[in-house]
């Protein structure tokens, strides 16, 4: 295990949380977009909320065993395993003057809930801050260890 493995672990988490914040920002920006994509029938569909899935870099037993026996230099950390669309149905809003209203005056709006997105954004921000704190604490410990040799 390298002395820099905790730096690598924090760096991967910082990258993943930053990506998560970017996806959340995209969700908030498209909360009113009614023409994001076209379906197989050629009709416009509203924006669909996107969610980030994170997973550990080395999550199986074999990788932990190799790390414990120093056969692998692979560090821990986290990675983005994928971005998936939320399959929750679109919201129906009655607005007959909207250009995308159907014959009943209903508009299919994106399945983005701004309150839920803000809570997710706060969670990602707190996780980012916690990783910065861990990174700084590790840096301080390494600096103190270097000072012992003086």
Predicted TM-score (pTM) of this structure: 0.82
Q: What is the pLDDT of residue 74?
A: 54
Strand partners, 56: 78
Confidence of residue 2 (pLDDT cuts 50, 70, 90): confident
* pLDDT, mean of residues 142-150: 86
Whether the predicted pLDDT of 73 surpasses 60 = no
* pLDDT, mean of residues 97-105: 92
Asked if residues 125 and 113 have their Cβ atoms less than 8 Å apart, the reply is no
Q: What is the pLDDT of residue 64?
A: 63
* pLDDT, mean of residues 118-133: 96
Confidence of residue 39 (pLDDT cuts 50, 70, 90): confident
Q: Is 71 exposed, middle or buried (0-12, 13-18, 19+ CB in 10 A)?
A: exposed
* pLDDT, mean of residues 73-85: 82
Which of 23-37, 59-73, 78-92 is predicted least confidently?
59-73
Q: What is the pLDDT of residue 68?
A: 65
Q: What is the DSSP string of 107-132?
A: EEE-S--HHHHHHHHHHHHHHHHHHH
Tens digits of per-residue pLDDT, 48-70?
999 999 988 876 666 666 666 66
Q: What is the pLDDT of residue 69?
A: 67
Mean pLDDT rounded to a whole number for the chain: 88
Q: What is the pLDDT of residue 149?
A: 77
């Amino acid at each position: 295990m390298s002395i820099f493995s905790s730096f690598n672990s924090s760096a991967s988490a910082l990258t993943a949380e930053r990506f998560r914040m970017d996806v959340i920002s995209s969700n908030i920006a498209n909360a009113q977009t009614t023409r994001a994509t076209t379906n197989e029938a050629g009709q416009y569909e509203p924006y669909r909320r996107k969610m980030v899935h994170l997973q550990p870099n080395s999550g199986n037993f074999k990788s932990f065993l190799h790390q414990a026996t120093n056969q692998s230099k692979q560090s821990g950390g986290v990675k983005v395993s994928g971005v998936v669309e939320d399959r929750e149905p679109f919201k129906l809003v009655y607005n007959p003057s909207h250009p995308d209203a159907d014959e009943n005056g209903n508009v299919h709006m994106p399945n983005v809930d701004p309150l839920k997105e803000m809570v997710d954004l706060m969670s990602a921000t707190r996780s980012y801050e916690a990783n910065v704190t861990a990174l700084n604490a590790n840096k301080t410990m390494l600096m103190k260890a270097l000072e012992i040799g003086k």
